A and B are shown apart, each in its own frame.
Chain A
Amino acid sequence: MLVDLPGGWSPLLGRLAWSQIPYANPILAPLFVAVVIGAIIILGLITYYGKWTYLWKEWLTTVDHKKLGVMYIIIGLVMLFRGFIDGLMIRTQQVWAVGPHSSGVFGSLHGYLTPFHFGQVYSAHGLIMILLAATPLLVGFMNIIVPIQVGARDMAYPYLNALGLWITAAAAALIMISLFVGDFAHNGWFEYAPIFEMQYSPGVGVDYWMWTLQLLALGTTLGGINILATIIKMRAPGMTWGKLPIFVWASLASNVIALTSFPALQVALALVAADRYLGAHFFTAGMGGNLMLYTNLFWIWGHPEVYFVILPAFGMMSEIFPTFSEKPLFGYMTMVLASMAIAGVSWLVWLHHFFTMGAGPYVNTAFSVATMLVGIPTGVKVFNWAFTMYRGRLTFNAAMLWAIGALFLLLVGGLTGMMLAIPAINYMVHNSVFVVAHFHSMLLVIVYAVFGSVLYWFPKVFGFKLDEFWAKTMFWLFSAGTVLVFVPMYMLGFMGMTRRLEYVFNTAWQPYLDVMELGIVVYTLSVLAFIVLLYVSVRDHAKNRVGADAWGTSRSLEWLTHSPVPFYNFAVLPHVNERDELAWRREHGIDHVRPEHYDDIHMPNNTGVAIIIGALTFVLGFALTWRIWWLCIVALLAIIVLMIIRSFRGDPGYIITGAELQRMEEEAYRREAQIADSHHIHPVSGGVVGNAMAYQRNDSSK
């Protein structure tokens, strides 16, 4: 062994032992029983209804970007729920453990969580919310929407897309299993040096954290490459850069960030692994290590990551506002420039996460001014959304409400962000709950945009709308929760309350913590409203069916094809004439045309390799965490062998004949004709209507 391991190690099981299972923990043990029962029920139901084949063929081995996107979003929503429960636990601990006379249970001096357990809860909350909720939700939406918006039949690399999903799923599984086998990191989601070194964190928690993050970084990088290649190479004929839908521009900017910043994280984590596994001294205080080097490396990724998740959210808002304002986005070019500017500046601001490190005033002012520069393009975006509404015809349905909510949260987050950007202010509120309230405002912009997008694009993916009443109920409950939790949190920040207090030493803070606890209860109600929303919508789905253009005022290309989108997206690739293609076609009366003739199309085959490699990366992560070396070698070799085999076999894909395509299309049109307010669809010959081209000409070379 190159490093001292407290506790035992065996060649067969590594550090794994019965004592690592928290069966005596009064919180985890009942939860484990509940999870096992739930799993048995779900697996039993699948077996009872004989859905295993369906599940395997249609979902687990799929390379269809829409299904993969849906699975990304399901992972995101499940992890959002897990992260929410962690948040609930944090709030409950803090409202309970106030002052020296507060009671304690389960072995804790105050409250119900020991410091070590509390640390794990908030570390998991942070990591999950940013990387396993926000990121999969946004990657999922980019996966579903980008190919349809650029008029492609799938991603550039369908198999790579599946691989990205299953590696992300493996990371989610790894962080979930840390609940019941061993423990998770307890030093915060970014794990500062040298507290993650073996001397201060001898358990497996940091290793779980490290491999989860490493897998997520890998999965997201693969996804980023794919989305970039799709946007650059797979655009429909006629779609020049100036006609790209704004969400695609946002995705482009976002994934440029992902591709360039995630490798920095992976290198930083590899160095942490060297410290913890090989006894190296990259980030130790002594022996020539430099602990602030870790902080720099982490935030060189960490800050771009923030914009990696906020830019798609901005893109979503830029799609929702025009649709429900019934006019084009104000200042398209400005919006594109602003997205690119945010992506560019994102690499230059990382040091504002630790102004208090003690860097000199020249360094701090440089990063301070760079940080404030972000406010310029962001401010431009806010003004552009406002002027999109100007002279519009606004419909305040639930999707629009979420988008407007996001805009107001962005104003709050922007105001407080500009405060934090100034070192003279930052010194007073850094590491306080003011910072926590600020970045929650910003991350809630993402959550609001995501819920708005769920409502907005749900009919496109599933063919029916979600229930408006419950969607609005959920919106108002969620917003009430936001106000009740985060207004007191900002106030506590001004009272000097610092982050991550397991025990709250000042009793003057109690009333504010009480209000926050009330807020989290209201949040819980909004979660229930979401579940009711899904139930009611699925129950009434026959009533809420929609045609291709679900909202009647949609503008971009994805609304041109059927809802739900067929697996081949477009039977004949559309020819793009204008920036808001559907709006343009509607205006020129060619929004209800269909091609007269169908050609054969080529589609990728399903593959089981991606999910198997995903499962093996989970095994690898688990074995590395517990230092079961033989299992690491087996898993790694299996992954390499599978990749080689897959590379040699490749995927010839398969052909859907024109006749088959015509049959499926006609069936889809028949289905759409049954919807009450649908229009008559007429075929056009040669793909040309008047002077405008509706579809790619047959004779055009590919």
Chain B
Amino acid sequence: MDIKWRNWLKKGWRAAALAPVLLLGGCAHNPFWIFDPKGLMAKTNLFYLIVDVVIMGAIVGLTALLVVWFMWRYQKGKNRGKYDPHWSHSNTIEVFVWGIPIIAVGFLSYFAVKGTFEINPYNPTVITHHMKPNGDPVEVDVIATDWQWLFVYPQYHMAVANELVLPVHTPVFFRLTSSAVTTTFFIPQLVGMIDVMPGMRTKNALLSNHAGEYQGIASDFAGAGTSWMTFETRMVDKADFSQWVQKVQQAPGSMTYASFNRFAEPYINVNHHVVYFSSVEPGLFDHVMTEVMRGKTWPLPPMMTENMVDYLKKQAAEHRD
């Protein structure tokens, strides 16, 4: 029943969300990423968004109409409604003005609690409760630096910088940390936000049945390079994924803690360089996290916090090749 209701709401909402898009000239794809989820987590989020907007929208909309009606009816000099200079209390109305918000909040609380467990990043029941025994989940360790993303695939002993490639129909489990400052991992069409913090580990998960390319974003401000700290997320067929893994495993680069030390130096990725690493030091994720907890930092030189002009000139020259 739940699913049916969800689908029904989803269709209606999508039609409504698409209306302004069609007015804008009928683009091929929906620019409203939040209304166009391609992953189970994002879909679940959209369901709760619709429930909330329908309930609250009804109350807020009716209140707005009520106010407009009062404004019309009781305008001075028009004599449309009765003027009662002393009327300022009514127990019946009091019951309604307290009752309606209390019932609405009570109702929404149920959905809030249910939704929080369904998309709990550490154990999203929408994914984990429906996993097949042989689902073969893919694990990805995410390390954010100033200002790049390193995606380590421990099962395949390889890593990729600034690009995320994942198979469809497969649960993906992330572990996330940062080497520098706090930022947030976000792929609007696939999975909601989770903070990525230095010296700490968070988790997230996603499951998508739609092959395609989706934008990944560092959605919390992390310093000068944040705007360029984006990553392409490609959901591909299982066969294509195996091929891609083989391609990465033949790349020249390798990622040890020593090379990570250089990789984590502050760097604004204005040209969206993607780097493949065919081998990764086992336990790199934990190693980085432990080092950061012990006080390891990669400080920013003043030229990257104050005189950005010189830095950007230097970097533009670097990328001129």
Contacts and interface: CB of A to CB of B under 8 A. Distances in A.
Interface in A86-133: 106-109, 114-117, 119
A419 B56 contact: yes
B112 A286 contact: no
Given A187-B221, A415-B53, A193 B182 contact: yes
A107 B52 contact: no
Given A361-B120, A495-B31, A496-B215, A115 B203 contact: no
Interface stretch (A429-437, A532-540, A660-668): A429-437
A200 B63 contact: no
Contacts of A422: 48, 52, 108, 111-112, 115-116
A566 B115 CA distance: 59
Contact of B217 (A360, A361, A424, A498): A498
A135 to B, nearest CB: 24
A199 B116 contact: no
Interface string B4-34: 0000000000000100100010010001111
Interface stretch (A157-165, A302-310, A377-385): A377-385
A286 B292 contact: yes
B293 A6 contact: no
B93 A387 contact: yes
B24 A511 contact: yes
A391 B42 contact: no
B44 interface: yes
A195 B112 CA distance: 32
Contacts of A411: 60, 63-64
Given A365-B113, A376-B98, A431-B186, A382 B119 contact: no
A192 B182 contact: yes
Contacts of A504: 227
Interface string A397-419: 00000001001100110110011
B306 A183 contact: yes
Interface string B259-274: 0000000001010000
Given A327-B86, A508-B31, A7 B81 contact: no
A365 B49 CA distance: 16
Given A202-B300, A424-B45, A373 B230 contact: no
Contacts of A421: 112
Contact of B75 (A291, A387, A396): A396
A332 B67 contact: no
A187 B292 CA distance: 21
A260 interface: no
Nearest to A187: B221
Given A286-B297, A418-B56, A368 B112 contact: yes
A113 to B, nearest CB: 9
A390 interface: yes
Contacts of A393: 74, 76, 83, 85
Interface stretch (A247-255, A351-359, A519-527, A621-629): A351-359
Contacts of A7: 302
B309 A114 contact: yes
A500 B217 CA distance: 12
Interface in A480-516: 491, 493-496, 498-506, 508-509, 511
B8 to A, nearest CB: 19
Interface stretch (B127-135, B153-161, B194-202, B241-249): B194-202
B254 interface: no
B296 A286 contact: yes
B184 A415 contact: no
A495 B297 CA distance: 35
A330 interface: yes
Interface in B194-233: 194-195, 197-200, 202-203, 215, 217-228, 230
A427 interface: yes
A281 B226 CA distance: 25
Q: Give chain B's interface residue range (CB within 8 Å of chain A).
A: 35 or more
Nearest to B214: A496
Interface in A166-211: 183, 186-188, 192-195, 198-203
A395 interface: yes
A139 B199 CA distance: 41
Given A369-B113, A424-B118, A386 B305 contact: no
Contacts of A36: none
A76 B301 CA distance: 37
Contact of B63 (A365, A382, A430): A382
A372 B108 contact: yes
B186 A498 contact: yes
Residue in A115, A183, A499, A511 with the greatest tally of chain B CB atoms within 10 Å: A115
Nearest to A289: B199
Nearest to B181: A195
B252 interface: no
A394 interface: yes
Residue in B180, B181, B199 with the greatest tally of chain A CB atoms within 10 Å: B181
B97 A334 contact: yes
A201 B305 contact: yes
A432 B219 CA distance: 7
Given A424-B118, A428-B193, A386 B308 contact: no
A106 B310 CA distance: 11
A375 B224 contact: no
Contacts of B304: 116
Given A327-B84, A428-B34, A115 B225 contact: yes
Contact of A424 (B115, B199, B297, B299): B115
B97 A331 contact: yes
Contacts of A195: 181-182, 221-223
Contacts of B299: 198-200, 202
A425 B45 contact: yes
A328 interface: yes
Contacts of B171: none
Contacts of B76: 326, 393-395
A563 interface: no
A502 B200 CA distance: 27
Given A428-B49, A506-B215, A415 B221 contact: no
Contacts of A414: 56, 60
A563 B10 CA distance: 59
Interface in A1-28: 6-7
Nearest to B57: A415
B260 to A, nearest CB: 16
Interface stretch (B99-107, B137-145, B276-284): B99-107
Nearest to A387: B93
A377 to B, nearest CB: 8
Given A200-B223, A334-B97, A389-B71, A427 B309 contact: no
A177 B214 CA distance: 44
Given A391-B87, A424-B118, A428-B45, A495 B195 contact: no
A202 B304 CA distance: 10
B113 to A, nearest CB: 5
B297 A394 contact: no
B44 to A, nearest CB: 7
A408 B64 contact: yes
Residue in A199, A200, A395, A509 with the greatest tally of chain B CB atoms within 10 Å: A200
Contacts of A383: 63, 93, 96-97, 100
B116 A200 contact: no
A395 B76 CA distance: 6
A325 interface: yes
B251 interface: no
A298 to B, nearest CB: 13
Nearest to A431: B219
A106 B308 CA distance: 11
B197 A291 contact: yes
A285 interface: yes
Given A368-B109, A387-B97, A424-B192, 6 more contacts: A6-B301, A200-B300, A330-B88, A380-B97, A391-B81, A501-B227
9 contacts: A188-B221, A356-B192, A369-B113, A380-B98, A386-B63, A411-B63, A424-B116, A425-B45, A494-B35
**CB-CB nearest 5 A-B residue pairs:** A427-B192, A424-B115, A107-B309, A496-B188, A286-B295
